[in-house]
Structure formats: structure tokens, C-alpha cells
Amino acid sequence: MSFDAEFRNQQFKSVGSRPLRPDGIDKVTGRARYGADFNMPGQLVGRVLRSPHAHARIVRIDTSRAEAVKGVKAVVTAADLPDLTNGDAELLHILDNCMARTKALYDGHAVAAVAAIDAKAAREALKLIEIEYEVLPHVVDVDAAAQSDAPLIDETLFTGGVEPKPAKPSNVANRSEFGHGDVDAGFAQADVIVERSFRTEQAHQGYIEPHACVASCNPDGTADMWVCTQGHFVYRQICADLLGLEVSKLRVTSSEIGGGFGGKTHVWAEPVALALSRKAGRPVKLVMSRDEVFRASGPTSATSIDVKIGARKDGTITAAVAHLRYTNGPYPGMWAELGAMTSFACYDLENVKTVGYEVLVNRPKVAAYRAPSAPMAAFAVESAIDELAGKIGMDPVAFRIRNAAKEGTKSSYGPVYGPIGIGPTLEAAQSHPHMSAPLGPNQGRGMACGFWFNFGGQTCTDLNVNADGTVTLAVGTVDVGGSRASLSLIAAEELGIAYDDVKAVVADTATLGYNDMTDGSRGTFSSSMATISAARNAIDVMRHRAALTWDIPVEDVVWEDGHAKARGENYGNLAPLSVKDIAAESGKTGGPIAGHSELVADGAGVSFATHICDVEVDPETGATRIIRYTVIQDAGKAVHPSYVEGQYQGGAAQGIGWALNEEYIYGEDGRLQNPGFLDYRIPVCSDLPMIDTQILEIPNPNHPYGVRGVGETSIVPPLAAIGNAISNAVGVRMSHIPMSPPRIRAALDGGAGS
């Protein structure tokens, strides 16, 4: 059935209110079950052995002594995960990352795993696995890895995206380019040019719940998995491909998820758990330790970025260029490409060019982290924009407003924008009381903008009207932060019933059609679209049932305010039928009532934000405190404003941590020095002020209610907003993230930003 997704301006009854979330009670009473909170009869404990070397050839593995340990039921290595990827390089990289095949490519790379009756036996067995390594030279630094004399991570890799094909292999996996116009001509027209290089260090998503799963392979070739993931359908597909299972035979249930932020969109240990279970013939529970989470799962890229922007004295940007080098870990990705696409997306530019380089290094495989790749590019660009405004003598907000993208602007990455929120967020910032509040000594104010695309994608939803008129909504997008509440509001709105009459659940892979991940801020956007579509289909069924009850043509039955109503003069005495009325009779009028929907949610509206931040820098220690923070972002339509605010605040806090503290620190030996929350310090409660939010609503024309994704953009501006604030507080331009006390001290001493 075709679905009309066009935005229709309407008065909302449910959408925009703030009801209690349906999973709240479970989560405040300890009853909610996360990845590690599930057990199966006869379950074994799985443990993974990891490489202590950043780069080493695996010469020999001997597992015999480990297998002999009492209580050990299976030991697996790469030999137990044969290559079934059929020439699919990306899939092979996932397999190799789950279990090193010929080389260990980073400190923490899995090389073997055991399943035993308890943790003690498993630990003992790990110690008895003998591995002979031939240690190879390694490289962890992005710029060093891009040099032609760097140790090669993959000897068969030639830089893609360049013509002609290079003669020598390289750690630069790919080059991508975006832009339009003539940047040389643009710079020739500039009165002032700012050119600067920036670096950002690698940060981790830092979800509090480590990766966890329980895998169970059965003798008949079927398998079950319980797992914390942002996308159980995608995990099913990848695990089935890697293990040679038919997709229908692997049933994956997503647990409650204790944070993901992109890090739980990639499989890590799940195929290993399945391989262990297959070999042992028993269910296996595999839970990562925090050390493993840091060493072996999802950090973002470290980057090195050069930016050059020119403007006329009147404040018009004439040309902008960025070269962006992003670490990918040991396998090719598209992280620099995303950085190159997002760099200048906030601005309306005549001449713009961005070039991204994907750089392989001996660090864990990079995973998405909330608006992946955009914060680093925004740090570089928004710092340079601020500096340029200063040189021209313009207010930084006014300068940005003058150059802001608007409806009809050809974006720097290609598409032409529809109605967008960058201008409105800037204007809201300009008139926000925060902008004119007084500042004390050593304090400074900064602001910056951010952009994220947002995604839509494949989505499938079931809406069942129960006999008592209440509604069960089964969705396939994992609820990472309140989407069951939002989607219940959407169903209630479309059907015209009370929020409390809708119960949303996340269905497993056997009970609903395929759904893409909850990523790209798509959860509420795409599932709300599918929910509206499913509700409209259910309404059609209910109109037919009412027509049958009244014995009138269905064309004469309309749906209004949660009721079927007979339209036309002849039907004056027919009382409207509510959902409850119709549901109560459903057994007699044709059976159960349901609405189903499967669609590709197109038209995710792009998202923009402007952040304002006040800092106080202690010039003696170089320590920075955030004393006030304001997030202004376009939500399209805030379905449940409390959870929209929560996304804004959470993203800002993650950005603050990254800006001031968080970084992967490697030793000379290529080993990660700080794989724990003590030394990789994320913001705690006493580090932060309240985070004020202002929600703007510029409707997305491609969604019936105007909804845009809201989850990611909030992490994009903080790095630059804080850098700009520090610059205004103590007069040094910071160019290296995190802006930790030693870096600020060094900048104060030497005037350089690193």
C-alpha cells in the first residue's frame, strides 16, 4: 500500500506531550534485562584471549593444554571461523576483527577464545593457550601512518580514489573529494585568509554497559542469540553470513541496551560466542570486560585536519578548503569521507573543496560514534571560522548568519537543501540571554555550529488492535533512549486514542520483518513513519468493520478523533464507533484487527545545532571548567520533548568530555595505556553545569508530523564551542583535542595550540 509521507500541519493531541515512559518501572526497579542479565540452562562462560602486540604475525597457536583444563568445553581460533565471505572484503574484515587470522593488528585483537563451566576454568585455560608471535613494526599515529615509509598494515592495499592506480601499497586506503566552484579564484577574492592545522585524539563512546551476549547453537542447525545491540536484524545477517547459517535459522533477541552511541552497530564478539557454542554444544555467555571494551571495540577516529578559509571584509566567505586525515583502525572505512562531507555543510559557499584520506593504523577498528566523523571536522572548521570573524572584526554569530546555508543552498557535499534550521538556530543564539550574560575574570564565551545528515532506511512495524481496544505496537528498531514512549505517542496520535492505551515493544528477528539499525538518528524518525503507516492501515480495517456493522458503503465512513463516523445526511442517527467499540465486535466482523507496515523511510531531514558555552580557565593549572552551556537545535517536531532534551544534553556532555579530557593514550610499544574509566575519564556529575536546551521546530517536509532525527547533532559543536570559549578566555587558539590542562598550559607558555 502506498504511503503518503508528506508533512501536514496539524494540531497535535499526544505528540509533544511528556508522558511517563513504558519501560520506566522496569528500569528503576532493576527488573530491566540488559545484555549480561540473561541466562540459559547449561550455559558456559566464554572468555577471549587478546593480542598484547600492536602488530604481529601469528606463527603458531597451540591450544592443547587449554583444552585439557578441567571444565573447559571448547577452545576456538580463526580455524573455527573459516572464511565464508565469498570475496566480500568488508565482511572478511569483520571476520578478521572478530578473530585475527594471520596477523594481530592492534593491542587487544582477539586471537582465541574458550568456553568453560565457570570463569575460573576459562581464565586458567586462556593462560595455557600458547601463541608464537613474530612482532612487526607498528604505527598508531595518523600522520606517521600516511607517510610512504610507514610500516604497512595491509601489504595488498593500494590507495583507492586516485588515478592512475598508485604503484606502491599504502596505509592510505582511500581518497574522497567533495565540493564545487573554483577555490583558487575564491581565495584570490579574499581580503583575509585563515589557514590552520588541527588534531583530535581518539575517543570512545563510553557506553556504561559492556558488550554482552548469550549464544546458543542447536543440534538441528538453528541458533538463538540474546544480545545488546543497536540492530538485531543486522547482527543476525552478519552472524549468519560469517557462520554459514541460514538467516531464518538464527533468531536474535535484542536486550535492553545500556548505551551504544554507534558502538553497538558493529559485531564484535557475537560470532565468536556462536562459534564457541557450536563447538561446545552448549549455550555460551560472552561478556566483555571494560578493558576489552576500550582495547577492542569501537573508538572513533583520531584525526589531523588542515583548513583554509578566505573572506571579504564585508563578511562573505569566498573560498573554503579542508584536507582531512582520519584513522580507520586496521581496516578501510569511510570515516574521513563523512568528515569531508560534513565539514562545511552549515554554510552557503560559492567555492568549496574537501578531501578525505582514510588512514590505516594499528588501533582498534573504528566504529561509529554519534554523528560519526562530524565533530572533528567541525572543530577545525568552526575554530577557523571564529578566527576569521575576529580578523575581519565581525561578531562570530553575525558572521555565521551572513554565510549560513538556507533553503535552496547547494550543500558542500552535493544535495540542495530543503527547509533547514541553521539560520534559525543562529538567530536564536543571537537573541538568547546566555549570549549577553556577564563574564568574570579568566572566563570566556564561545559558540559553534554543527550538522548531521540523519538517516531513514528499511523499517517494519506491526500494530495490533486488541479485543479491548488497546493497541500493541511491535517495532524493530532498538530503543536506545525512550523511543518506545515516542512511538506510543505517535500511534496514539494517529489513531486518536490515549497514550496509555498503547504498549510498544521491540520485537525479535523472528516476529517482524527486517529493520535497519537504530543509527543515523533514524529510530524515531523511521519507526514513527512506519507506525503512522501501520496505524493508517489499521484505521482502514476499522472503517471497513464499521461499514459492515452499519451496512453502508465504506466510502461513507470517515475516521475522526479516534472514531469511525458515518458521513452523509442519511446516517444522522448512527452514533460514532470508537476503537473500543469496533474492537469489541471484531470477532463477529472479520476477526483480529491489525495494521502492518513495511517501508523505506526516505527524506530524513538534515539537522543543525548551535551551541553556546562559557568556560573558566585556571591559568596556573590549565584546567577548564564549563560554567554555562546552552544547546539550540532543530528537532523538526519534538515527539516527546523530555527525551529530545535528553539527547541534546547527553550529546553535549559527551562532546565536553572529548573536548577537555578523553583520549586514547598509546605507549611506544603500541599498547593502550588507559583502558579503564579511571584513566580514560568521562565527565562526572560534579564536572558539569545544568545543560540548557532550546528546541526549534522547523518541520521536515518529508514526514507526516515533520519529525527529524535528533540523536546525533548535539555532539558536533561542543569541541569547537569550547575551543572558541577558551580562546576568548585566555587568548590562545587551541588546535589539539582534548584541550587538557597540559595542552592549555603549553599553549599559554608558548602560544601554540598543542
Residues near ligand FES, by CB under 6 A: 208, 259
Instruction: Indicate the residue among 295 and 432 with the shorter CB distance to ligand FES.
Output: 295
Rg of the chain's alpha carbons, rounded to an integer?
27
Could you tell me where the beta strands, DSSP code E, fall in 151-288?
172-180, 192-200, 212-217, 223-227, 250-254, 284-287
31 binds other proteins (CB under 8 A): yes
* Rounded least distance, CB 36 to ligand FES, Å: 11
- Note the Cα 692 to chain centre separation in Å: 22
Q: Residue 143 or residue 687: which is nearer to other proteins going by CB?
A: 687
Nearer to ligand FES, 19 or 646 (CB): 646
The verdict on 235 binding other proteins (CB under 8 A) reads no
How far is residue 380's CA from residue 450's CA, in Å, rounded to a whole number?
12
Is residue 493 involved in binding other proteins (CB under 8 A)? no
Least distance in angstroms from the C-beta of 676 to ligand FES: 10
292 binds other proteins (CB under 8 A): no
Under the criterion CB under 8 A, does residue 207 sit at the interface with other proteins? yes
SS3 call for 58: strand
Minimum CB–partner distance for residue 209 and ligand FES (Å): 8
Q: Which of residues 688-707 bind other proteins (CB under 8 A)?
A: 688, 690-691
Angle at alpha carbon of residue 261, lines to 258 and 264, rounded to 5°: 70
Judged by beta carbon distances under 5 to 8 A according to partner kind, the member of other proteins, ligand FES, none in contact with residue 25 is other proteins
**By C-beta, is 390 or 657 nearer to other proteins?**
657
Selected from 388, 653, 672, 722, the binder of other proteins by CB under 8 A is 653
27 binds, among ligand FES, other proteins, none (CB under 5 to 8 A by kind): other proteins
Cβ of residue 368: shortest distance to ligand FES, in angstroms? 17
CA distances from 750 to 54, 497, 600, 704, 724 (A): 34, 65, 54, 55, 18
The residue assigned the cell 502492518 is 596
Fill in the per-residue mask, 108 to 127: x = in contact with other proteins (CB under 8 A), - = not in contact.
------------x-------
The single-letter DSSP state of residue 15 is T
Listed in sequence order, the residues at least 6 apart from 678 whose beta carbon sits closer than 8 Å to its beta carbon are: none
Q: Of the two residues 21 and 325, which places its CB atom closer to other proteins in the complex?
A: 21
Residue 41 near other proteins by CB under 8 A: no
- Return the one option of ligand FES, other proteins, none that residue 34 interacts with (CB less than 5 to 8 A, by type): other proteins
3-state secondary structure of 596: strand
Tell which one of 3, 13, 32, 418 touches other proteins (CB under 8 A): 32
Determine, following the binding rule CB under 8 A, whether residue 209 of this chain makes contact with other proteins: yes
Tell me the closest approach of the beta carbon of residue 682 to ligand FES, in angstroms. 10
**Nearer of residues 26 and 88 to other proteins, judged by Cβ:** 26
In 10 A of CB 62, how many CB atoms?
12
Kindly state the smallest distance separating residue 693's Cβ from other proteins, in Å: 9
Quote the least distance from Cβ 254 to ligand FES, whole Å: 16
104 or 691: whose CB is closer to ligand FES?
691
Residue 298 as a binder of other proteins (CB under 8 A): the answer is no
Least separation in angstroms between residue 256's CB and ligand FES is: 10
Q: Which of 178, 608, 177 is nearest to 412 (CA)?
A: 178
Cell numbers representing residue 470 in the block = 488497546
- Site for other proteins contains 36 (CB under 8 A): yes
Among 496, 646, 701, 741, binds other proteins (CB under 8 A): 646
Residue closer to ligand FES by CB (options 208, 752) is 208
Q: Cis check for the bond before 738: say yes or no (omega within 30 of 0).
A: yes
Binding of residue 450 to other proteins (CB under 8 A): no
| Binding partner of 643, given ligand FES, other proteins, none, CB within 5-8 angstroms per partner class | other proteins
> Could you tell me the CA-to-CA distances from 280 to 44, 75, 217, 286 in Å, in that order?
9, 8, 9, 14
Burial of 158 (0-12, 13-18, 19+ CB in 10 A): middle
Residue number, 257 or 392, with CB nearest to ligand FES: 257
Q: What residue is closest to ligand FES based on CB?
A: 208
DSSP string, 371-417: STTHHHHHHHHHHHHHHHHHHHT--HHHHHHHHB--TTPBPTTSPBP
Residue 208 contacts other proteins per CB under 8 A = yes
Partner interacting with residue 688 (select from ligand FES, other proteins, none; CB below 5-8 Å by kind):
other proteins
Name which of ligand FES, other proteins, none residue 28 binds, using a CB cut-off of 5 to 8 Å depending on partner kind. Answer: other proteins
Stretch that binds other proteins, among 19-27, 48-56, 397-405, 595-603 (CB under 8 A): 19-27
Instruction: Collect all residues with Cβ–Cβ distance below 8 Å to 171 and sequence separation of at least 6.
Output: 139, 145, 146, 150, 152, 153, 154, 157, 359, 360, 361
CA dihedral 14, 19, 23, 24 (to 10 degrees): 170
Expressed in percent and rounded to 5, the helix, strand and coil fractions of the chain are 30, 25, 45
The answer to whether the beta carbons of residues 174 and 161 sit under 8 Å apart is yes
Distance in Å from the first CA to the final CA of the chain: 58
3-state class (DSSP) for residue 725: helix
Enumerate binding residues for other proteins (CB under 8 A).
18, 20-21, 23-25, 27-34, 36-37, 120, 205-210, 256-261, 287, 289-290, 480-482, 642-643, 645-646, 649-650, 652-654, 676-678, 682-688, 690-691
